[in-house]
Structure 1
Amino acid sequence: MAIKKQYLKSKPICKVTFAVEAKEANNVAVAGNFNEWDTEAVTLKKLKNGTFKGTLDLEKDNSYEFKYVIDGEWQNEEQA
C-alpha cells in the first residue's frame, strides 16, 4: 500500500494517488473524512499487475483520515 502526493502550483489542490497491491482482491475502495466514509464513493481501478490505483484531488492544508476497503474489509494504510 502506498500514497503519493503532488501539490499543484496553479490551484490549492493536492493530487493524492492511492496504490494497493491486492492481487487476489476483486474490489478496493478508499473511504475517509473527505467522502464521509462512503465505501463506494472512491473505487480504485485494478491494473494488470494486480495493483489497484486511483487519484483524488483534495484541498491542500487540510488533514485527512482514510482507510482502504478491500473486498468489504477495512484496512489501514501501513505508511500513514
Structure 2
Amino acid sequence: MIERKQLKDGAQVTFVLPADVPPGPVSVVGDFNQWKPGAHTLEPRSDGTRAVTVRLPAKSVHAFRYLAAGDYWFDEHHADGHDGANSLLHT
C-alpha cells in the first residue's frame, strides 16, 4: 500500500507492507535512491505493518520495486502503474 501526503514543494510517500509478508527485511529500491538496496528499509509500526517514508519532488514519476531477503524482488500492486519491469509512482 502507498500512503501519500501532498506538501507545498513535493510529496511525502509512505510505502507500507504487512509485518511478516514477505518475511525478513524489506527495502524499497528505486530511482529516488539510485536503486541502492537498504537505503530505505521498512520498519515496524504499532499497527502491525512496516513502513518507510520518502520525500519526493512534486509532479514527478518514479520507478521502484521492493527487495526482500533472499534477493526476492516484487512489485507494489497499488502503484500508479507498471512499466513492465517496475512499479511507477506519480507525485
Interval containing the TM-score (normalised by the shorter chain) = 0.7 to 0.9
Aligned residues: 76
Conserved 8 A contact 1:18-1:54: yes
Deviation at 1:46, TM superposition (A): 2.2
The equivalent of 2:76 in structure 1 is: 77
The equivalent of 1:13 in structure 2 is: 10
Kindly, what percent of the aligned residue pairs are identical? Answer: 32
How do residues 32-71 of structure 1 correspond to structure 2 at under 5 angstroms? 32-47=30-45, 49=48, 51-71=49-69
Deviation at 1:47, TM superposition (A): 3.2
Could you list the runs of 5+ residues in structure 2 that have no partner in the other structure? 80-91
The equivalent of 2:2 in structure 1 is: 3
Alpha-carbon distance between aligned partners in 1 of 2:66 and 2:19, rounded to the nearest angstrom = 11
Could you list the runs of 5+ residues in structure 1 that have no partner in the other structure? none
| TM score, norm. by length of structure 2 | 0.75
What value does the CA root-mean-square deviation take over the aligned residues?
1.4
User: More displaced, 56-65 or 18-27?
Assistant: 18-27
**Letter of the structure 1 residue corresponding to residue 65 of structure 2:** K
Of the two structures, which has the highest relative contact order with CA contacts closer than 8 Å and spacing of 6 or more? Answer: 1
